[in-house]
Chains A and B, each alone.
Chain A
Amino acid sequence: MKKSSIHASSKQSNVSSQKSTHKWGREEETEIFAQKVKLFRQGKLSEDDFRRFRLQHGAYGSRLHMNYSMVRIKIPSGEIMPEQLDKIASLSEAFSIGSAHVSTRQNIQLHWVQLEDVSEVMRGLVEVGLTTREACGNTVRNVMCSHLAGICPDEVFDATPYAKAIAQFFIRNPMCQNLPRKFKINFACCHKHGLVRIADIGLVPSIKDGMKGFKVYLGGGLGAASFIGHLLEDFTPENKLLSTSMATIRLFDRHGNRENMARNRMRYLVHEMGWDKFQRMVLKERSIVEMTTAESTARLFDIKPAKEEDDRQLPKKAHRMIKVPILSERVNMESPAYERWLHTNVIAQKQDGYFTIFVTLEAGDITANQLRLLAGIIRDFSAEGTARNTPHQNFAIRYVKANDLPEFYSKLASIGLANSGALTIASAVGCSGTTSCNLAITNSHRLAKEVQRKLLELGIDTDDSLRDSTIKISGCPNSCGQHEIATIGFFGGASRIGSAMAPTYTMLFGGSAGEHGELGRTIMRVPAKRVIDTIRKIIEIYKQEKRGSETLSQWINMITKGEGIGSIKDIENIKAILTPVTQLPSIDQDPELYTDYGTDTKFSAKTARGECAA
């Protein structure tokens, strides 16, 4: 039994504006969903038809138990209001497991919701303007935007209003209700941040001759086979953003593979057709779109409301009350917890005197009570009065003044959210894995938590040479954990020795995000229970090998390219030195390696039909 707690009262002193957000949800859809569930239960709706409908409305089947759903709440551009967090808290208590989960695509997921209760969750979401519509299924999924958009020192303009306008244009749009497969659109803030090379459409804000526009990348994506997106043209002016997006979706709709579920993402179409041909077709299709799109349709794409919402007199700078020297200074294990947290969880914004705070979660999980307290903290301390969730499964609270940082920290500490390391290698990403996903082979979710706990315990987050490295873990090859863009990535599988099966991960090196993002290279297999030891061993070798100020990610990149200059030159060298840690002995020699995290029972690789595709 537990008591619900009431969040701290808001002091409002710092809040300069309250946004009015677009209403994404529609009440009638919740009633239709409840009706369809009844029809399905009465056998009046076929399983296939119902699955398609259910996914279109953001309810994904739970691992081997289809009477339960994972409800995926879209958070367009990752921007979320305090009252929305409060509502998600209550819904998670009432209908889910009392915790919510931040996904790698800026959704918030509620797991193990009984199918009959999904409509109630949707109803609650509508009350605060949120929706699950087209969060799953063969549709345009949540439109992502860098959580640093608007505050990034390297950006040329804020992409957020464009991300919201694109999301608004395509949601419920007849042209993308039944695509060959899901479709992902990601906006960046600058060339460094954002996931633009691993999306169907990735966009980096750009300015040419004083004109706003984007660098548009097409046909990227992670999965069993991953591809990096291609640059469409040097510069796409903002007035061609809609037509370019429409043209791409239309081509995919017309030419995409509707037969083979394993190869029907747009990246396969681009790959099979060849980029040159696809590029020519997009440019041609764009002219057709421009000539044939009715003005009334084009008018539906409107960045003005989102822009006005964003022009809500956000402060350009804050009067700097106290110095925050610690941000640029070194810390170590012995540093006071507050200083360590400042160093690893706080960055300065381009707006002088304002800071963005990253709240460290474990693999994206947060309790209902923590959500409520976080909502109160946002109301109290963020001058923009909102938060953004990040693809690293954390929350970013922006526009916080320097002199509020100590109080901010102590409030987080009071609810167990003041862990350090959010901006470092310690903040491991993990998909939901065998905690709820049909496709998962291993418990990647728990592993990510274990990795993070161990690295924080060892103070790895205080080591600046490791800071720009990332660890990302998926429970199968399908890449929801984005393992291919990690410095050190892992995806789950199973290895057999004799008649015994062991949970293992394939380790990849050298992936990266951003406009110059690259995919990681496969190194070797590692038993699940040896992943932490392997990471520690890699760090140990790096420490011996590093030259000067070379960071871990730089060192790993050199090795991956076969350009190492120390005793470890290439992948073969590193494999040889890691083998004693990563080898899998027989079950009699080490039975522990034949169990996965989170269970004592013998490991077996159970999966069921994936639900990514409707």
Chain B
Amino acid sequence: MEMENNIIARSNRYNDNNNFQLSVICDADTLRTLIRKKIVRVVDVRKVQEYEREHIPTAVSLPLAQLLAKNTPSEIVECLESLGISDKMPVVVYDDTFGALAARVAWTFQYVGHDNTALLEMTFSQWKNSGLEIEKKINVFQKAQHSLNVNQGIHADASYVEIAKERPNKILIDSRERLNFLTEHIPGAKNIPYTMIGLANGSILRDSKEIKRLINNRGISTDSEVITYCGSAGTLSGLTYFALKLAGIKNVKLYSRSFKEWKALGKPKEEFKDANYWDLSAE
């Protein structure tokens, strides 16, 4: 118990309402302490059946599909309220899909104004395989009050992207795998596949020092404005969103409707011609 208090004390991260202030990523030790102190809401975004089988103690269930079905920011705020999440409460999100689904949910919370949201550093399987606590109990919390405060600063839509792609100080990042990127992408986009910043050993993201170096190699400064997108729902690019935040880039936006919408709108695309790169894949 003493050690746990130390972790909290050392971090000295309490916000104005005396709530613990999370950073981009929440490590397992911190989460365990917050759970024991009952001052965190843990959100499990896997399928309901998976949640019902077992989950991290005190976690509530919010499958990604359920969240994506909500059309307006106020519906999402209602969802936060029903999970018993109040304005400044720390929220930690996890999945079992290398962090991409959790990232999309966490970004959405931040978008409607719940800034104090972090990704758990690992997936549920990694948590469980490390021998950490799990439970089966279905958790329900009393409905909370949450204000709506949309953060447009972290969101990009198609018309924003269309203008941004012409601006040298705005960098468009495609998070899909290399072969998909080569086949077609938004003109001017750079490719940072999610596999480059994620899929690390034992955690969902590489450590911040490494991501910083990768970004630096690419000539992307932390002062740049970066917009991330992926194939359809903004999951892979959601993970990239958090990776870039972790690397210290302040102005990151997610084009949440991503390339699927871009194509549906008939916007221009770019491709790598004259090479049969797909034939190199052994898949």
In the complex, which residues 562-610 of chain A have their Cβ closer than 8 Å to any Cβ of chain B?
596-599, 606
Q: Which residue of A lies closest to B276 (CB)?
A: A598
B217 touches A117 (CB 8 A): yes
Interface size class for chain A?
Answer: 35 or more
Residues of B within 8 A of A41 (CB): 219
B14 in contact (CB, < 8 A): no
**A residues in contact with B273, CB < 8 Å:** 64
Contact of B191 among A3, A64, A114 (CB under 8 A): A114
Determine how close the nearest CB of chain A comes to the CB of B129; give it in whole angstroms: 10
Q: How far is the CA of A596 from the CA of B272 in the complex (A)?
A: 17
CB distance from A52 to the nearest CB of B (A): 21
By the criterion CB–CB under 8 Å, are A435 and B277 in contact?
yes
* B252-283 contact mask (Cβ, 8 Å, vs A): 1 or 0: 00000000000000000000111111111111
Least CB distance from A28 to B in Å reads 15
B97 at the interface (CB under 8 A from A): yes
Cβ-defined contact, A1 with B236, below 8 A: yes
Q: How far is the CB of B214 from chain A (nearest CB, A)?
A: 6
Tell me the total A-B contact number using a CB cutoff of 8 A: 106
How far apart are A31's CB and chain B's nearest CB, in angstroms? Answer: 10
A362 CA to B280 CA, complexed, in Å: 10
Smallest CB gap from B278: residue in A: A598
Q: Are A98 and B277 in contact (CB under 8 A)?
A: no
Partner of B282, one of A4, A37, A366: A366
Stretch at the interface among A159-167, A220-228, A271-279, A443-451: A443-451
Q: Interface residues of B, CB < 8 Å — how many?
A: 31
- Check if B79 is an interface residue, CB within 8 A of chain A: no
If the complex has contacts A93-B199, A97-B178, A116-B217, are A367 and B282 also in contact, measured as CB distance less than 8 A? Answer: yes
In Å, the complex CA distance between A94 and B278 comes to: 17
B179 within 8 A of A: yes
State the Cβ distance, B229 to closest chain A Cβ, in Å.
15
B283 neighbours in A (Cβ, 8 Å)? 98-99, 367
Within 8 A of B (CB), among A332-369: 361-362, 365-367
A38 within 8 A of B: yes
List A contacts of B219 (CB < 8 A): 38, 41, 116
Min CB gap A57→B, angstroms: 15
Q: B161 contacts the other chain (Cβ, under 8 Å)? A: no
Which A residues lie within 8 Å of B178 (CB)? 96-98, 112
A442 to B, closest residue via Cβ: B276
B234 at the A interface (CB under 8 A): no
Contact of A370 among B100, B272, B276, B282 (CB under 8 A): B282
Q: Cα distance A94–B213 when bound, in Å?
A: 14
Assembled-state Cα–Cα distance A114/B182 (Å) = 11
Q: Complex: how many Å from CA A34 to CA B219?
A: 11
Q: CB of B61 within 8 A of chain A?
A: no
B interface footprint on A414-448 (CB within 8 Å = 1, 0 otherwise): 00000000000000000011111000000101100
Q: Are A436 and B280 in contact (CB under 8 A)?
A: yes
Bound together, the chains give a CA A596 to CA B276 distance in angstroms of 10
Determine if A433 and B177 form an interchain contact, defined as CB atoms under 8 angstroms apart: no
Residues from chain B with Cβ under 8 Å of A436 in the complex:
275, 277, 280
For A235, list chain B residues within 8 Å (CB): none
B193 CB → nearest A CB, Å: 7
Do B218 and A116 touch (CB < 8 A)?
A: yes
A residues within 8 A CB of B23? none
Contact assessment for B199 and A433 in the assembled complex, using a CB-CB cutoff below 8 Å: no
The interface centre, meaning the residue of B98, B182, B275 with most chain A CB atoms within 10 A of its CB, is: B275
Q: Determine if A95 is an interface residue (Cβ-Cβ < 8 Å).
A: yes
A394 at the interface (CB under 8 A from B): no
Do the beta carbons of A434 and B196 come within 8 Å of each other?
no
A445 contacts B275, C-beta separation under 8 Å? no
Q: Is A120 an interface residue (CB 8 A)?
A: yes
B97, B100, B281: the one contacting A97 at CB < 8 Å is: B281
Contacts of B195 in A (CB 8 A): 93-94, 98
What is the minimal beta-carbon distance from B117 to any residue of chain A, in angstroms?
Answer: 22
Chain B neighbourhood of A597, CB < 8 A: 276, 279
Q: A435-B280, A436-B280 are in contact. Are A120 and B214 (CB under 8 A)?
A: yes
A119 engages B276 (CB within 8 Å):
no
How many angstroms between the C-alpha atoms of A34 and B218 in the bound complex? 10
Instruction: Report whether B199 and A445 are in contact in the complex, using a CB–CB cutoff of 8 Å.
Output: no
Say yes or no: is B235 at the interface (Cβ < 8 Å to chain A). Answer: yes
Contact of A483 with B by CB under 8 A: no
A74: Cβ under 8 A from any B Cβ? no
Contact of A1 with B217 at beta-carbon distance under 8 Å, contacts A62-B275, A63-B274 already known = no
User: Is A432 touching B196 in the complex (CB atoms < 8 A)?
Assistant: no
Contact of A561 with B by CB under 8 A: no
Which residues of chain A are near B191, meaning CB under 8 Å?
114
Partner of B182, one of A1, A112, A446: A112
Question: Interface 1/0s, chain B 189-211, versus A by CB < 8 A?
Answer: 00101011001000000000000
A215 contacts B by Cβ under 8 Å: no
**Are A606 and B274 in touch, CB under 8 angstroms?**
yes
A65 neighbours in B (Cβ, 8 Å)? 272, 275
Q: Find chain A residues with CB under 8 A from B100 CB.
A: 1
Residues of A with C-beta under 8 A to B275: 62-65, 434-436
Q: Which of A92-135 contact B (CB under 8 A)?
A: 93-99, 101, 111-112, 114, 116-117, 119-120
- Closest B residue to A33 using CB positions: B217
Chain B residues with CB below 8 A from A34, complex form: 217
Taking CB atoms, residues of chain A closer than 8 Å to B279 are 435, 443, 445-446, 449, 597-598
- Beyond A4-B98, A63-B275, is A365–B196 a contact (Cβ under 8 Å)? no
User: Which residue of chain B has its CB nearest to the CB of A63?
Assistant: B275
Determine the residue in chain A with the shortest Cβ distance to B281. Answer: A99
Q: Which of B97, B199, B272, B276 contacts A94 (CB 8 A)?
A: B199
Instruction: Give the residues in chain B near A94, CB-CB below 8 Å.
Output: 193, 195-196, 199
Q: Which residue of A is nearest B190, CB measured?
A: A114
CB of A365 within 8 A of CB of B281, answer yes
Residues of B close to A3: CB separation below 8 A: 97-98
A446 touches B199 (CB 8 A): no
Give the residues in chain A near B277, CB-CB below 8 Å.
97, 111-112, 435-436
Asked if B280 and A434 sit within 8 Å, CB to CB, the answer is no
B228-261 interface with A by 8 A CB criterion: 235-236
Most A CB within 10 A of own CB, among B178, B217, B282: B282
In the complex the two chains form, what is the Cα distance from A111 to B191 in whole Å?
15
Q: Which of A78-99 contact B (CB under 8 A)?
A: 90, 93-99
Bound CA–CA A365/B179 (angstroms)? 15
A432-B280 in contact given A94-B196, A117-B196 (Cβ < 8 Å):
yes
A567 CB, min distance to chain B CBs, angstroms: 39
Bound complex: CA A445 to CA B196 (Å): 26
CB of B217, distance to nearest CB on chain A (Å): 5
- Would A37 and B280 be within 8 Å (CB), given that A94-B195, A98-B195 are in contact? no
Once the chains bind, are A365 and B98 in contact (CB under 8 Å)? no
Known: A120-B217, A433-B276. A98 touches B199 (CB 8 A): no
A111 CA / B179 CA spacing, docked (Å): 10
Q: Are A446 and B217 closer than 8 Å at their CB atoms?
A: no
A/B interface sample: 27 pairs, CB < 8 A: A1-B236, A3-B98, A4-B199, A34-B217, A37-B217, A38-B219, A41-B219, A63-B274, A64-B275, A98-B179, A98-B281, A98-B283, A99-B281, A101-B280, A111-B280, A112-B178, A112-B182, A116-B218, A120-B213, A365-B281, A365-B282, A367-B281, A367-B282, A435-B279, A445-B276, A446-B276, A606-B274
Give me 16 other A-B pairs in contact (C-beta within 8 A), A64-B274, A112-B182, A365-B280 excluded. Answer: A1-B235, A38-B219, A41-B219, A65-B275, A93-B195, A96-B178, A98-B178, A99-B281, A112-B178, A119-B217, A120-B214, A434-B276, A435-B276, A443-B279, A598-B278, A606-B274
Which 5 A/B pairs are nearest by Cβ-Cβ distance?
A: A365-B282, A598-B276, A446-B279, A63-B275, A99-B282
**A contacts, CB < 8 Å to B:** 1, 3-4, 34, 37-38, 41, 62-65, 90, 93-99, 101, 111-112, 114, 116-117, 119-120, 361-362, 365-367, 370, 432-436, 443, 445-446, 449, 596-599, 606
Interface residues of B (CB under 8 A from A): 97-98, 100, 177-179, 182, 191, 193, 195-196, 199, 213-214, 217-219, 235-236, 272-283
